[in-house]
Structure 1
Amino acid sequence: MSLKLAAVVLAGGEGRRMGGGKPLKPWRGGTLVSHALEKARGYAPRVAVAVRTPDQAGSLDAPSLTDPPDIAGPLAGLSSALAFAAEEGVDAVLTLPCDVPFAPADLAVRLAEALADDVGVAMAESRGRWHPTCALWRAGLDGALADYAAGGGRSLRGFAERAGLRLVDWGAAGPDPFANVNTPEDLARLDSH
């Protein structure tokens, strides 16, 4: 089965532990969000960036999606991503956070292989940890997400379990491709790799 995919970079977090403005932190000649956007372009032909406010991602050559104000956290970014998937008429949308600079090149391919008929979400896992923001979500989950959020649901992981989750394990060998940047120290440590 060949899926038509879109990819959305999640860049709507406040980044408090980074001192704010995480998406725009410098990273290897660009910013974290511009680097993530380039990765996203390697995964899918249609890409966008989901933000809480328009200034969070700066000026990028991609559509900017404003997260719904009535949904909190990364779930809001997923809501934006699913709306983008519907607009683009794709089968599934890959979410990728702006703070995972070493996401593996085979992320979209391996997740798409796991998205069987009975699976609504294929999610990355490494070293026994789930990575809910690095997942492929079947298009058409908008209504289920709205119901989940209206019922008090706030967790990507919780919604994924409801939607029919399959984990895809990247193992524990070598550096973790899903290591993320939460603090200035993380940024310096990962930039040295």
Structure 2
Amino acid sequence: MRIFGVILAGGAGRRMGADKALLSLAGLPLASHVQDRLAPQVEDLALSANGDPARLAFTGLPVLPDQEGQGPLSGVLAGLDWAARAGAEALVTASVDTPFLPCDLVPRLWLAGDGALAVASSGGRLHPTCALWPVSAAAGLRSYLASGGARLMEACSGAVVAEFATEVPDPFMNLNTPEDLAQAEVWLSGEVP
């Protein structure tokens, strides 16, 4: 099974006040933290991001611009199209602001759905930015976006759920505010929260 990955980095980072992909956490950009966790689990990896791709050159990854401009789902579609062109059967997505991703994310998503759409969950919460998408889902997703749909949770309805243990920090914690970033620094330093 050929599984590719894409890091969703197309958001504006309004609550954080900066481009999240470039924010420093423990001396590395957030994009590098997610890349380090996801790259060993997939055959190939790219970033979905808008704006000047040169700002992300430090990753060495291809940068896929959104075609639809309708939030994370546009990034998922860009990733599915890229993966399909390269002959992959599935795509795993992860948000650029989730530096604690599980190192077994991809195999557990795959096993949960046997290649069907599968979404990660922890602590009773779904995390639809962390999902496995069969490349065959591209046509339906394209139609959904063309109809004006843009809700990630809606697009993932009917997905198989892969449950992950609730830990501290939560492996799917999004760093949305400067306070979240400061808390992540504490966790990475090994200090007790």
- Root-mean-square deviation over aligned CA pairs: 1.5
**C-alpha distance in 1 between matches for 2:178 and 2:169:** 19
Q: What is the number of residues matched between the two proteins?
A: 186
Q: Is the 8 A contact 1:21 1:56 kept in 2?
A: no
- With normalisation by structure 2, the TM-score equals 0.90
Superposition deviation, residue 173 in structure 1: 4.7
CA separation of 1:116 and 1:55: change in aligned 2, threshold 3 A: closer
**C-alpha distance in 2 between matches for 1:151 and 1:56:** 32
Superposition deviation, residue 15 in structure 1: 0.3
**C-alpha distance in 1 between matches for 2:163 and 2:55:** 30
Aligned to 2:108: 110
**C-alpha distance in 1 between matches for 2:22 and 2:166:** 30
Q: Is the 8 A contact 1:23 1:57 kept in 2?
A: no
Q: Is the 8 A contact 2:38 2:103 kept in 1?
A: no
**C-alpha distance in 2 between matches for 1:115 and 1:25:** 34
Aligned to 2:91: 93
CA separation of 1:27 and 1:166: change in aligned 2, threshold 3 A: same
**C-alpha distance in 1 between matches for 2:78 and 2:54:** 15
- With normalisation by structure 1, the TM-score equals 0.90
Unaligned runs of 5+ in 1: none
Aligned runs of 1:71-86 on 2, under 5 Å? 71-86=69-84
Aligned to 1:136: 132
- Say yes or no: does 1:67 pair with 2:66: yes
**C-alpha distance in 2 between matches for 1:41 and 1:94:** 11
Unaligned runs of 5+ in 2: 188-193
**C-alpha distance in 2 between matches for 1:141 and 1:169:** 22
Deviation per residue, 1:83-130 (Å, 9 max, x gap)? 11112211100001110000011100100112236x3x1110011111
Q: Is the 8 A contact 1:11 1:57 kept in 2?
A: no
Higher mean C-alpha deviation, range 128-137 or range 29-38: 29-38
